Amino acid sequence: MEEETKPRRPIINCHTHIFTGDHVPPYLAKTFVWWPFYLLFYLPLILWAVKAWNRWDGRVRFSTAYRWLRRARYRAAIRINRARWLSLLRWAIVALAVLHVFYILYDWIALLVKPDDSITNHWIVYLRRQLEEWSVLFPIDSLALKVALVALVVLFIRVGRNFILFILKRAWGFLQLLPGKMTISLIERYILLCRFTLYRRQSRIMAQLRAQYPSGTGFVVLPMDMEYMKAGKLKKGASYYDQMKELARIKKDKAYSDILYPFVFADPRRMQDDPGFFRYSFQGGNVSLGQCFIKEYIEGHGFSGFKIYPALGYYPFEEELLPLWKYAADRGLPITTHCIRGTIFYRGKKKPEWDEHPVFKEITSRGTYAPLLLPELKNEEIQLNFTHPMNYLCLLEEPLLRILVGKARDNRIRDLFGYHGPGTPMDHNLGHLKICFAHFGGEDQWKRYLELDRYTYSQQLIRKPDQGIDFLYNHQGELSFGKMEQVWKFGDWYSIICSMMLQYEQVYADISYILHNEEIFPLLKQTLHPDNKKLRRRVLYGTDFYVVRNHKSDKQLVAETLAELDVEEFDLIARENPRVFLGL
């Protein structure tokens, strides 16, 4: 008689989102597009237009006229493809249209910025004279006709659009900045929101996610609180509290109650503005929740942990968060934190207190220590100061946490942790805090790790596979801020995160979003190698649905991950490790 195989535990996707476009501030284009032009990219208007288009398109597609037009269009297209002279004629018409649009745009830009004397511009002018002499380029006086022709080529002729942009970027150097990588990412985010704007309810998006996985699959759902990112106000009825109420209803639904693990988003600025968000008392270092929003959702609705997104403009060790982290650490509640360069970040001006790091120091020209300078000026760079994984050492390491507790404005913080002065260890700490670094630092940092073959700190995982980087102490065993400065400035985030996973029992990382990039899998397999006994137990499967949808669907990500990893590796990160992380 054959031995029955033990049923495997269900998959748990540790990183998903189901918030709607209404929960996103209207001016995401702020800092990407100059003022006041970013006001034109008003997200609610764009979403409304997409909804209106989809409604109209849905009606038209099933009409008799559309069916006739579709067949007629195909007959015309196939006739052109099968007749060589018609194909050549089509090519000539397209080429002619592209040439005219190029020179129309060239003239429009020249009205704003005078062309320089580069060889590119000389050739553009020379070619124009030749085309006019050969009667290939015709004068177009009508502005309406120019606009229509430009719209036709830009919207419907992709090859022509790319060609025009390629040449214009070489004619004017400033156009090299448009569109940059981050701008393209922002455009993709707009497209993504438009893709899911058909769903007004989170429950509809949740249904789309669930349909891509086997029955019984679990999902960690991470809400977003973007009201403090200085990108405009949310519409009425779409506040963070409204988002959470709906999420609680979904959790209560019998269809999802056993497979949904929603988190609570924690923003220290909301704690400041709303005293009812987080109330607590403590005795002997143990935190108890008073009647508050956190208690309602964690202890009342059974939410599973906390989500933070420091790129929105705060450190993970803000004073307001410390009592909450003590509560979470003592109860084994997980915290998932954003740890990748992204397009969602604080859009306001840099505050004076962000000029220097609150804890880390650097050596000055005089040979003395001063607070670590944070010289970044652009918002997309400033976000990295909040997102940097070394910030979490300020929570996990008692000597660094002691600095923060000593600076606290609220005396209760010092009493909570048993603070006795800067030179004496505290009675309580956060070394047992359970943290997951979402996105594992980003695929760019994985690539950087592989490229840094001469940097000492990027070799530590190989030299010391059970420890990685010793962040705090020098060879004499003394606390070294100089060492921390070097790792902050030059260390790759893959090495930093892996080292923290090795040194702290409750630190994890998920592969959400980055798993769309097939280039990560060789290093991921190395990370999951049986020799890496600690490291492999701290990696979590997650996709970042629906944010990752611009690249691949979730069912494709599952299929590709199963193809790249063996069964034991996949089961470890998708079935076993998530259960430990969630305390199931």
Summarised one tens digit per residue, pLDDT across range 106-162 is 888 888 778 777 788 888 888 888 988 888 888 888 888 888 888 888 878 888 888
Q: Share the mean pLDDT of the chain.
A: 89
Q: Quickly tell me which residue has 């006994």 as its tokens.
A: 533
With pLDDT > 90 as the criterion, what percentage of the chain qualifies?
61
Question: Which ranges in 372-442 belong to alpha helices (H)?
Answer: 379-387, 393-396, 398-407, 411-417
For the beta carbon of residue 281, count every other beta carbon within 10 angstroms. Answer: 12
Output the DSSP codes for 243-283. Answer: HHHHHHHHHHSTTTTTTEEEEEE--HHHHHH-TTT--EEEE
Cα dist from 76 to 62, 66, 91, whole Å: 21, 15, 15
| DSSP H or E run through 37 | none
The more confidently predicted of residues 90 and 311 is 311
pLDDT of residue 38: 65
Rounded Cα gap, residues 113 and 47, in angstroms: 33
Please give the distance of CA 328 from its chain centroid, rounded to a whole number: 24
The two three-digit tokens of residue 223, written as one number: 């809400």
Rounded Cα gap, residues 311 and 29, in angstroms: 16
SS (H, E, C) 316-355: CCCHHHHHHHHHHHHHCCCEEEECCCCCCCCCCCCCHHHC
pLDDT of residue 91: 86
**Could you tell me which of 248, 449, 388, 416 has the C-alpha nearest to residue 319?**
416
- The 8-class DSSP code of residue 3 comes to P
Predicted confidence band of residue 251 (pLDDT cuts 50, 70, 90): very high
Rounded Cα gap, residues 302 and 287, in angstroms: 18
- The 8-class DSSP code of residue 410 comes to S
**Could you tell me which of 185, 165, 184 has the C-alpha nearest to residue 175?**
165
With pLDDT > 70 as the criterion, what percentage of the chain qualifies?
90
Rg for the chain (alpha carbons), in Å? 28
Arithmetic mean of pLDDT, 452-457: 86
Predicted confidence band of residue 451 (pLDDT cuts 50, 70, 90): very high
The more confidently predicted of residues 367 and 18 is 18
Statement: residue 105 has pLDDT above 60: yes
Rounded Cα gap, residues 281 and 292, in angstroms: 12
Statement: residue 71 has pLDDT above 90: no
Rounded Cα gap, residues 575 and 8, in angstroms: 8
pTM of the model: 0.82
Where on the phi/psi map is residue 100: left (φ > 0), alpha (ψ -120 to 50), or beta? alpha
Cα dist from 452 to 446, 465, 495, 511, 538, whole Å: 10, 17, 11, 21, 24
CA angle, residues 158, 160, 166, in degrees to nearest 5 = 100
The more confidently predicted of residues 245 and 178 is 245
pLDDT of residue 248: 97
**Could you tell me which of 50, 347, 308, 350 has the C-alpha nearest to residue 195?**
50
pLDDT of residue 502: 97
Tell me the residue type at 553. S
pLDDT of residue 154: 81
User: pLDDT tens-digit profile of 472-506?
Assistant: 998 888 899 999 999 999 999 999 999 999 999 99
Statement: residue 260 has pLDDT above 90: yes
pLDDT of residue 372: 96
Output the DSSP codes for 159-195. Answer: HHHHHHHHHHHHH-GGGGGTT-HHHHHHHHHHHHHHH
Statement: residue 290 has pLDDT above 60: yes
Question: Which ranges in 418-537 belong to alpha helices (H)?
Answer: 443-451, 460-463, 481-490, 493-503, 521-527
Cα dist from 292 to 299, 321, 335, whole Å: 10, 15, 19
Angle between helices 84-112 and 64-82 (to 10 degrees): 100
Rounded Cα gap, residues 379 and 288, in angstroms: 37
Arithmetic mean of pLDDT, 36-53: 69
Predicted confidence band of residue 86 (pLDDT cuts 50, 70, 90): confident
Output the DSSP codes for 202-220. Answer: HHHHHHHHHTTS-TT-EEE
Cβ(383)–Cβ(341) below 8 Å: yes
Secondary structure of residue 308 in the 3-state scheme: strand
Arithmetic mean of pLDDT, 48-55: 69
Output the DSSP codes for 126-156. Answer: HHHHHHHHTT-S-----HHHHHHHHHHHHHH
Angle between helices 143-156 and 84-112 (to 10 degrees): 120
Rounded Cα gap, residues 352 and 272, in angstroms: 19
